[in-house]
Structure 1
């Protein structure tokens, strides 16, 4: 048996330590171990708690098969059809416990097979003759809801008359209601939309016998704790509950105590080793230069194909558009892309029809394309597990690969945490400069000279070159050929555009210096500018530097035409941040990132520009969306309230909010500059502070 290095127990030799209580004496394994049907699992009972603990490295000759897990034959057929051979550790532990009717908490990282771990037992308990809801799976995001819904449907492919309804914000109610009315037995959805269906009466929980919380820690982090309680209150008291989480913070422990009965805890040892064939690098890139840096990395890469990871769906879409506008052959996949369209995109990537794929973590799960030689983490992942999953998309089938991670100055600490978790130090590199891009293009062009000489039929070009040299006797042949090469790679000579590109590259180099060697204002200014984009993937005013196009500047109005300003009841005093507000509006409200404009943060509230204007149903739905457990209570903003109309917490800060001061340093997600033959060929954000008029300085902030 291998060594367990994570909760609930830590093993050292033949002893187990309760890491929830390090003061407890170690327990010798033979004193309380009882082997289960799965040879490499052990059921432990200690201090009135039960644990299934899986070994980190099970013995290959004792690994169980799916046939050993007492699954119905129809599900075994589906497993075989899907190409599954041996259950993962979480599957081998969770499936027997769930089939036995136990509540469970599964502590396992992303990518360990959790969906099958709860999905197969869930489907086995469905009464196909009953055309009513019997099981509910809650997920924190629409992307994960779609993925889980598709997976459950594939597991049930050989089970007659079992159907899945997937519900989430941002999608029309009609198809979701029809799926429920047609007798779907399994409901998968985000908490907000599930509650909507409960309130509408289109979802009936009276016969629900199983509830699953998937990625529960992420769900609570996004402020869904109260929604989870509401949903559980609607289900029968006699039900089975499965809770899956990468970590077990106090909030998850509370949910388990309140909603699970004598749960079995299943802990899978974290797999923090990364692919040895992958060269892991990072580069310090200020936010406003990320898209330009990404373009130059892709242009100069020798990889056959690349995948670019963004943290949010909106960021992925915007990066994909930017790359395409720069002549890079790119496609984007996210949770909003239908499965058949996703398959078409992946097939095009495999065939070489496209060379760059921009994706979110959820959308790229299970992606296996051998020709991917480069992974770029455009946004730093929050968890080390997500990092491991991302870079695992390259270095496959014995090929070497490269993983490059962009970080802002304030993300150094987060990167160090990832390095500690994966036990690997990333190598810092410099982003290619505009001169590097030109040199790369020139070398690629010269590599084709020999084959072109062999092909012949150059008489016309020799004649034209001779005429030019005859008419320009003062020109050297070497100079003429150098100019032809420069023009051939898009270098038309010194220009304001190239000067701008070089200045931006020099700023990139400066950003890569350790913070202690840089001026305080330079470092802190970059950190402030990076804060919003680095976490939520939004975009602010951006200077574009296309390698081939002349600079074009667009003047931007101080407010977005046609947008309506709304007030939400969360602010800095409630622990809210702009990224949380954007996440609530997009995940539960169904808005696109481009629908959200300026965000002005104050103590107990925030002002958000949204366009086009919301209708009554959208207002109602968005008002229930939560940030940090507090509802937004969204309403149209009518300007500063009189002192007597404002809550006491707001009246303590003299005066209203100052419209003029807020406009000076705001962040507008929709501000755009004009958008502008390599391996892949076919921003600036400001963040200022706006004080209340006559109140405390720097109290309000605009984004």
Structure 2
């Protein structure tokens, strides 16, 4: 019966109902229907839900209805892992509170001048949304007082822990009044999250959106097998074939986002890159361009894409398959929003990707269908059909055509026939298409060395990639011995042109080889296939990287974390 519920059945105020109606929503989502009554009754809540399920409104509506507009002090605090998500959440709160007189909110995060935020807090607000680091800054400056806060929400709590915010979160929670509501929203519920709930919550109500509900039913999911160097060509064809207005493309590294963006622009497609190297001002500018349709394709990494909230995204491309299943669900949740249909298209470049597709199907309990790439003939037929529609559209307009008719008369007076004039005009419209579009063999030959290799690969690199791939994610030896987990490699000598790095994390930190490969590849742009042997001991780890990339890896990774734990990384002295 939950599907028949309306927002008026949830016990929310008339002002909120009016705002919800203005936003075009009639029926609450499952997470909203289950969470809003619990929060209005004053319970602590653990909510398991993904982006795109309506979880923001699930906690924002009760917050807005419970704060006292006559008290201009922070009464509710929402913590988010990224600036983008914080801005998105606060924007949703503003929309929902538009008819609630006296209720105001502010968003505080790093990368923006703190003076503006201080002025906003001094002016007086009831709801504060922010990132843990900047919230801590304001607490230490005593510009944010939590004495009147009666509810705190941790949005995407698992992401915050993975990004190393656990200590900040515990300090913030410890500084709050004991009499409060504590709400956790998380896509997954790993042990660290459950440890926090036991420590800081009181008899929480668990609200769980089942996995089958996490993948939106109106998203068509498919994949194409394609040679790695031809991924850009295939994606360009698909964008042109389907005439997508807004698309999001996901890559696993910052370097890849820049390369794909440049490739799309070179093909005449308006694209912008979004990744961690951009300043907050640059990221805001990119997102504004995308929302307004001034660029049609947004190319992003997973972390940078947190907080993308654009209802009209028609397709998500997994240019690189994500490193884990949860990220896949987060990615495709960027389309198919607000009741609209959407598409999720993934590119498979080798056997390993094929296995990953199978794992994704098991995880989401939905089939991902294999499709054949569009041919040059398909694209030409599309252009022909589009031209015919454009002709009818132009002729249907009532306007003064005298100038154009005079031009036709001039051409006919030159001795040309009407057919020749029409042929010349069609050539002018479609000639470039015939030059650009060529028949391509996108098919991946799994019997040869072009599988599992990068865009600049060759047979030798393909073989090396496969050899390492077989050994990449070795399980720890359960029979004891040296107490280390490792990728098998030649014990007598390190691979040539490789440097050995020391990392201060080991098995006690639950670090696995794929965590290290994923972190280094994702943050530094060094291809995962080029990372060599990995030896994981109880308290530390050794990893081999190309000598030419060693300094770059050390510089970038020193300011990063693995599984939320800060790194000390340096050249091995041994």
- TM range, smaller chain: 0.5 to 0.7
- Which of 302, 307, 330 matches 1:386? 330
Give, in whole Å, the separation in 2 of the partners of 1:243 and 1:217: 9
Pick the aligned partner of 2:30 from 79, 82, 89.
89
Match in the other structure for 2:516: 577
Which string of whole-angstrom CA distances, capped at 9 and with x for unpartnered residues, describes residues 56-113 of structure 1? Answer: xx363xx2x3333332333333223323322222222222221222111112333222
Map of 2:121 onto structure 1: 180
- Counterparts in 2 of 1:610 and 1:261: CA distance versus 1, 3 Å: same
Residues 227 and 443, structure 2, Cα contact 8 Å, conserved in 1: no
Match for 2:7 among 28, 46, 66? Answer: 66
Change over 3 Å in CA distance of 1:601–1:144 after alignment to 2:
farther
Structure 1 residue 129, shift from structure 2 partner: 3.2
Q: Indicate whether 1:427 and 2:366 are aligned.
A: no
Does residue 630 (structure 1) correspond to residue 565 (structure 2)? The answer is yes
Alignment counterpart, residue 383 of structure 2, candidates 440, 444, 452: 444
Which residue of 2 is the match for residue 682 of structure 1?
Answer: none
Shift of 1:151: 1.0
Question: For residue 104 of structure 1, what is the aligned residue in structure 2?
Answer: 45
Q: 2:67 aligns with which of 126, 151, 172?
A: 126
For the residues of structure 2 that align with 1:123 and 1:78, how far apart are their CA atoms?
12
Q: Please tell me whether residue 217 in structure 1 is matched to residue 153 in structure 2.
A: no
Answer yes or no: is the 8 Å Cα contact 1:571–1:604 preserved in 2. no
Match of 2:333, SS state, is helix
Question: Which residue number in structure 2 is paired with residue 368 of structure 1?
Answer: 312
| CA distance 1:243–1:460, shift in 2 (3 Å) | farther
Q: Which residue number in structure 2 is paired with residue 158 of structure 1?
A: 99
- Does structure 1 retain, via aligned residues, the 8 Å contact 2:451–2:462? no
How many pairs are equivalent? Answer: 487
The structural deviation recorded for 1:130 is 2.9
Q: How far apart, in 2, do the equivalents of 1:276 and 1:105 lie?
A: 24
Structure with more helix by fraction: 2
Superposition map of 1:273-422 within 5 A: 280-285=221-226, 289-299=230-240, 301-305=241-245, 307-310=247-250, 319-330=260-271, 345-346=290-291, 348=293, 356=297, 358=299, 362=306, 364-365=308-309, 367-368=311-312, 372=314, 375-381=316-322, 382-383=325-326, 385-386=329-330, 389-390=333-334, 392=336, 396=340, 403-409=344-350, 410-422=352-364
> How many Å separate the matches in 2 of 1:187 and 1:582?
35
Q: With the length of structure 2 as denominator, give the TM-score of the two structures.
A: 0.67
CA contact (8 A) 2:88 2:309 kept: no
Distance 2:145 2:502 in 1: 31
Do the aligned partners of residues 484 and 584 (structure 1) sit closer, same or farther apart at CA in structure 2, a change above 3 Å counting?
A: closer
What residue is the counterpart of 2:177 in the other structure? 236
**Ranges in structure 2 where 5+ consecutive residues have no aligned partner:** 393-404, 421-426, 473-496, 535-540
- Is the CA contact 1:442–1:489 (under 8 Å) kept in the aligned structure 2? no
Q: Deviations over 1:236-255 (max 9, x none)?
A: 22221011122322222111
Q: Work out the CA distance in 2 between the residues paired with 1:318 and 1:197.
A: 38
By how many angstroms is 1:387 displaced? Answer: 5.6
Contact 2:274–2:298 (8 Å) recurs in 1:
yes
Between the aligned partners of 2:337 and 2:12, the Cα distance in structure 1 is 31
CA distance in 2, matches of 1:156, 1:303: 37
Contact 1:278 1:394 in 2 (8 A): no
CA distance in 2, matches of 1:319, 1:462: 45
Q: C-alpha displacement at 1:213, in angstroms?
A: 1.0
Cα distance in structure 1, aligned partners of 2:441 and 2:40: 63
Which whole-Å CA distance do the structure 1 matches of 2:459 and 2:274 have between them? 40
CA distance in 1, matches of 2:76, 2:187: 22
Q: 1:261 aligns with which of 185, 191, 202?
A: 202
Q: How many Å separate the matches in 2 of 1:461 and 1:571?
A: 82
- CA spacing shift, 1:183–1:522, aligned 2, 3 Å: same
Aligned-pair CA distance for 1:266: 1.7
Partners of 2:42 and 2:181 within 8 A in 1: yes
Given that 1:571 and 1:577 are in contact with CA atoms closer than 8 Å, whether structure 2 keeps it comes out as no
